[in-house]
Amino acid sequence: MYARILVALDDSPSAQRAFAEALKLAKLTGATLEACCVVGHGKWSDNADVAFEPEPAAAAQEFASRALDAPRELMREAQVPGGVRVIDAYAESVSAVLARVADEIEADLIVMGTHGRHGVQRFLLGSGAESLVRATDKPVLIVRHDEPGHARP
């Protein structure tokens, strides 16, 4: 069914849930699991007065390291083969980087979490999951994590 699965990680609850699903699929199918954290040199701010905040490379690497510690250990405990990697996006979008990595490792499936933004937030910030679906010809499993009490009707 699946020989290689790529899962996109950051430190969000939706990415953690996506990793859990990817790990289950890899264990079930005997697939190799590649966990990838794409970092850039900035982040979108929740502050309405500041749209984009530059982030030093060291901070981005520290963020990625934290995001990959637990998945690395969970893969080892589950005896699922694979690895974790950090990729610096520089001028590429996260979706372009993930599509390129999926091609490089010949992934059969890409698993990604989504924040489930809608309305104005989605218009302003976009949908990373939607961008990935458009950027690749690989199957994409999108895993959503809703905060308690914030489920959409």
- Domain ranges, ordered by start, for the chain: 4-144
pLDDT the model gives residue 55: 53
Residue bearing the bigger pLDDT, 8 or 122: 8
- 96: Cβ–Cβ under 8 A, 6 or more apart, which residues? 135
Query: Which pLDDT tens digit goes with each residue over 28-87?
Result: 999 999 999 988 755 444 444 444 444 556 666 676 777 788 899 999 999 999 999 888
The listed CATH number (3.40.50.620, 1.10.260.40, 3.90.950.10, 3.40.50.300) that belongs to domain 4-144? 3.40.50.620
Q: How far apart are CA 100 and CA 77, in angstroms?
A: 28
Residue 3 confidence class, pLDDT cut points 50, 70, 90:
very high
Contact 3, 32 (CB under 8 A): yes
Average pLDDT rounded to a whole number, residues 1-20: 91
pLDDT in tens, 103-126: 999 999 999 988 655 444 444 334
